[in-house]
Structure 1
Amino acid sequence: MKIGFLVCPGTMPGSARRREDAYEHDLQVQAIRPEIEAHGGTLTEIDWRDPIEAFNGFDLILIGTPWDYQDDEAEFLGKLDDLEFAGITVCNSSDMVRWNARKTYLRYLEARGIAIIPTLWIEKASAADIDAAMYAFGCETVVAKRQVGAGAEGQTIHHMGQTAPDWHMLHPAMIQPYLPQIATDGEYSFIFIDGQFSHALRKRPAEGDYRVQSLYGGTEESITPSDADVRSAQAVIGAIPFETPLYARIDVVRGDGNDLLLMEAELIEPFLYPEQGPELGPRMANAIAKRIQIT
């Protein structure tokens, strides 16, 4: 089997434009590639912007680390459509990615019983919307995020009385209360491969920050979650209105009542934390082989 692993210039090995966190790409590929080869296959990194002819011969394309897709969403989704039209299996599917790319999918999941962080959805967010969110949530600190975004890019935190009057967000926004437990307890990630739980971890931000990504100094540790927490994360997988995703990372934070609140259901290009899940490579390779046989 010939597997393609979608990347961008920021994660492509040897690129002069590699990101500081591109080592995460390396860890993920190093976990998956040997297991694909053990199945008699190959794993090849390929820039998602390469012409469609460059994808000839691939059996399946993994949406690996195209960590700039949010800036060219329409082009990215169009490329996934083109790949599928050419008869190449894309994981996760273009329909699923299109649904997941805009974080309004959280509203769909909430309507189906998944607990999420309270959110205001604003097309053109301004300083007045920040004040309105603080009033609505009864809090003094909120976080504004892009509805189409990744890696906390463009994300801002606002404290009462400290937002510049001319502040605005250029992209459609979502505004949420800042939850201090992200710093004290951490954010939890549950990794699922082909619908089956693989491993879990806890992520914490650096001192004085609120973002858990390694790019901002965040750290992570492996955990053994309770059965109840795994079931809660599994319920998110069950609520996704598509076929079972090949891979998924469910990011949650613990609410005041010890329940889990969904932050993200990452179905596009999540880092899957192979260091915390040493079985990730074999699980991915087995699931990929199964998909190719089915298709």
Structure 2
Amino acid sequence: MKIAFLACPATLPGSPTRRPDAFEHDLYLEAVRAGLGARGTVTDIDWRAPLETLAQFDAAILGTPWDYTEAKDEFLVRLGELEQAGVTVCNPLAVVRWNSDKLYLKELGERGAVTIPTLWPERAGPADVLAAFDHFNTDRVVVKRRVGAGAIGQDSFSRDNPPPANWSIEQAAMVQPFLPAIQSEGEQSFIFIDGILSHALLKRAAGGDYRIQTLYGGVELPLDPAPTDRAAAEAVLALLPFDQPPLYARIDMVRLEDGRLAVIEAELIEPYLYPEQGPNLGPLLADGILRRLG
């Protein structure tokens, strides 16, 4: 079997624009290759490569196409083209389309998931932030893009340090109260392959920061989750609006002040799946892809 590991210039080896955290690409790719073994080949390739080149693969896994957030519509069109060409895309277009706008979190909440209270301005300016302080009865909020990843374009403001008058997010946004647990405990990530928990980890921010990504100094630690925490993540997975679980899902959760875990993201497009903390990840992914190929 020939598997394409879709990537982008910011992650491909040898690229002059490669990001400093693109080592995650290398670790993820090697895990999939090792898991597939002699059963096939895995090639990392730009998702914008010519369609005739990509159509020669049996399957495509959305590895590290990290720039899709700046070209969402183009990315969705490309995945549709691949599926029409007979390439098995993991995760498929229908899943990616649903997951590509963080408004899906509102739907999950309506379906019964424990979520973080959120306001959904189509564009965010200083007035939206000031109103959110009173709406949430909080002294600090976080503002994110609805189409985004890796905390890029994200800001946090407090009543003592409000946004400057010229600040704005000129695209669909979301505003949430800042949760102290993101600094005191960290963010828990649960990696599911075909609906079964593979492994979990705790992500902690560097001192003084709240962003848990390695790009900002965050660290990841293996986690043996408490039964109630594992059940909370499994409950979110069960609420996804699909007939069967996606090949991979990373459910990111943070603790509310009442002790419950709330979903902060259900990552189904190109999440890093942390093979360092999950030594069985590669074989599980490879087996899942091959099952989809029959």
Structure 1 length as normaliser, TM-score? Answer: 0.97
**2:261 is aligned with what amino acid?**
L
1:37 paired to 2:37? yes
Matches of 1:75 and 1:43, distance apart in 2: 24
**1:277 is aligned with what amino acid?**
G
Secondary structure at 2:209 match in 1: coil
Pairing 1:205-216 to 2, within 5 Å after superposition: 205-216=205-216
2:12 corresponds to which residue?
12
> Any gaps of 5 or more consecutive residues in structure 1?
none
By how many angstroms is 1:166 displaced? 2.4
Contact conserved, 2:4 with 2:45, CA < 8 A, in 1? yes
1:193 corresponds to which residue?
193
Structure 1 stretches of 4+ with a deviation exceeding 2 A read none
Two-structure CA RMSD over aligned residues (Å): 0.9
- Superimposed CA distance per residue, residues 36-77 of structure 1 (whole angstroms, 9 cap, x where no aligned partner): 123x20001110111111113211100010011000111001
Matches of 1:289 and 1:91, distance apart in 2: 11
2:176 corresponds to which residue?
176
2:125 corresponds to which residue?
126
> Any gaps of 5 or more consecutive residues in structure 2?
none
Matches of 2:76 and 2:27, distance apart in 1: 26
- Superimposed CA distance per residue, residues 254-295 of structure 1 (whole angstroms, 9 cap, x where no aligned partner): 1122211000000000000111111111111111111111xx
Pairing 1:93-104 to 2, within 5 Å after superposition: 93-104=92-103
By how many angstroms is 1:161 displaced? 4.2
Pairing 1:254-265 to 2, within 5 Å after superposition: 254-265=255-266
Secondary structure at 2:63 match in 1: strand
Q: Greater CA deviation, 237-246 or 64-73?
A: 237-246
**1:285 is aligned with what amino acid?**
A
- Superimposed CA distance per residue, residues 171-195 of structure 1 (whole angstroms, 9 cap, x where no aligned partner): 1110001111101100000000011
Matches of 2:13 and 2:106, distance apart in 1: 37
1:279 corresponds to which residue?
280
- The count of residues paired between Structure 1 and Structure 2 equals 292
Matches of 1:244 and 1:180, distance apart in 2: 32
Contact conserved, 2:51 with 2:82, CA < 8 A, in 1? yes
Q: Greater CA deviation, 211-220 or 27-36?
A: 27-36
1:251 paired to 2:242? no
2:157 corresponds to which residue?
158
**1:224 is aligned with what amino acid?**
D
Contact conserved, 2:55 with 2:82, CA < 8 A, in 1? no
1:149 corresponds to which residue?
148
Matches of 2:7 and 2:282, distance apart in 1: 18
Structure 2 length as normaliser, TM-score? Answer: 0.97
By how many angstroms is 1:141 displaced? 0.8
Matches of 1:178 and 1:56, distance apart in 2: 44
Matches of 1:166 and 1:256, distance apart in 2: 33
